[in-house]
Amino acid sequence: MSLKSVNDILGVLKQQAKWQEHPFERLLQLWPDIVGTVAATHTRPLSIQRDVLRVATSSAAWAQNMTFGRTALLLKLNQKLSEPLVDIRFSTKDWQPRPDYLQEKTVIPQEHPSYLGNVNISRTQVTPTQKSANTAFESWAKTMQARSHGLPLCPQCQSPTPPGELQRWQVCCVCAAKQF
Ligand SMILES: [Zn+2]
């Protein structure tokens, strides 16, 4: 066998290897055109094994739909592929809508393993404080109300003033202190 013919054989083998490498890549490119853009978003070709194409689907309904239409799909695909497929299997099993690192972001805090229940803690801490603050304000307001209703006003600053102070200084003790 001459060196030239060896090279020819190697060339043929390389060519064959290329053809065997590419059917799946070619199929990925063809897929949206063959199934349509809507179906393409709900299906993802996974691999070709022994001339059987495995496709992941977003739901069982899509798997069922696509399985019903697979004969037509096979005809369309085989017109464009160098190696004809014998069948297509649709399954939801390997469907992953997004990579894991993206799904991580959508985990709500309560479901996260390191979640400490901050919302509940702050609730139990804040409520009594607010309650006592409100109670303090209410009792202060009541006292002020009772005072202003029951007490005469200082003629100088208009503050409710104990009658004793008015009798003594004619003004409240604060105004009296200012005068001294
Ligand atoms: Zn006064």
CATH code, 92: 3.30.300.180
Same-domain check for residues 86 and 19: yes
- Per-residue pLDDT averaged across 121-131, rounded? 52
Average pLDDT over residues 156-161: 88
Distances (CA, A) of 169 to 48, 154, 159, 161, 163: 104, 10, 14, 11, 10
Query: Looking at residue 96, what is its pLDDT?
Result: 78
Longest CA–CA span in the chain (Å) reads 135
The reply to whether 129 falls in a domain is: no
Ligand 1 center to residue 144 CA distance, Å? 15
Q: Pick the residue with more confidence: 113 or 6? A: 6
Residue 67 maps to a domain: yes
Residues 90 and 153 in one domain: no
State the distance from the centre of ligand 1 to the C-alpha of 136, rounded, in angstroms. Answer: 25
Chain segment 56-114, per-residue pLDDT in tens: 999 999 999 999 999 999 999 999 888 889 999 999 988 876 555 544 455 566 666 56
Q: Are 43 and 64 in contact (CB under 8 A)?
A: no
Q: How far is the CA of 175 from the centre of ligand 1 (A)?
A: 4
Higher pLDDT, 136 or 77: 77
- How many A from CA of 160 to the centre of ligand 1? 8
Domain boundary among 96, 131, 161: 96
Residue 163 CB burial class (10 angstroms; 0-12, 13-18, ≥19): exposed
**Domain hosting residue 11, numbered range:** 3-96
How close is the Cα of 16 to the center of ligand 1, in Å? Answer: 107
> Is 70 found in the same domain as 9?
yes
Same domain, 88 and 19: yes
pTM over 0.85: no
Q: Tell me, yes or no, whether 20 and 91 share the same domain.
A: yes
7 pLDDT band (50/70/90 cuts)?
A: confident
Of 81, 96, 111, the residue that ends a domain is 96
- R_g of the chain, CA atoms, integer Å: 42
CA of 10 to the centre of ligand 1 (A): 112
- With respect to residue 118, please indicate whether it lies within any of the assigned structural domains: no
Ligand 1 geometric centre to CA of 138 (Å): 24
- How many angstroms is it from 168 CA to the middle of ligand 1? 13
Dump pLDDT digits (tens) for 13-55.
766 665 555 778 888 989 999 999 999 999 999 999 999 999 9
For the segment 156-169, the average pLDDT, to the nearest whole number, is 88
Contact 90, 59 (CB under 8 A): no
Question: 147 CA to middle of ligand 1, Å?
Answer: 14
Q: How far is the CA of 8 from the centre of ligand 1 (A)?
A: 116
Mean pLDDT (whole number) for 132-147: 67
**Within-domain flag for 120:** no
Claim to verify: residue 23 and residue 82 sit in the same structural domain: yes
Q: Distance, CA 135 to ligand 1 centroid (Å)?
A: 28
For residue 110, being part of any structural domain is answered with: no
Look over the chain and give the mean of its residue pLDDT values, rounded to a whole number.
Answer: 78
pLDDT attached to residue 122: 45
Residue 81, SS3 per DSSP: coil
Answer whether residue 156 is part of any domain.
yes
Among 96, 114, 135, where does a domain finish?
Answer: 96
Q: What is the DSSP string of 1-29?
A: --HHHHHHHHHHHHHHHHHHHSHHHHHHH
Structural domains of the chain, count: 2
Per-residue pLDDT, 175: 93
| In the predicted structure, residue 145 carries a pLDDT above the cut 70 | no
pLDDT at 155 over 80: yes
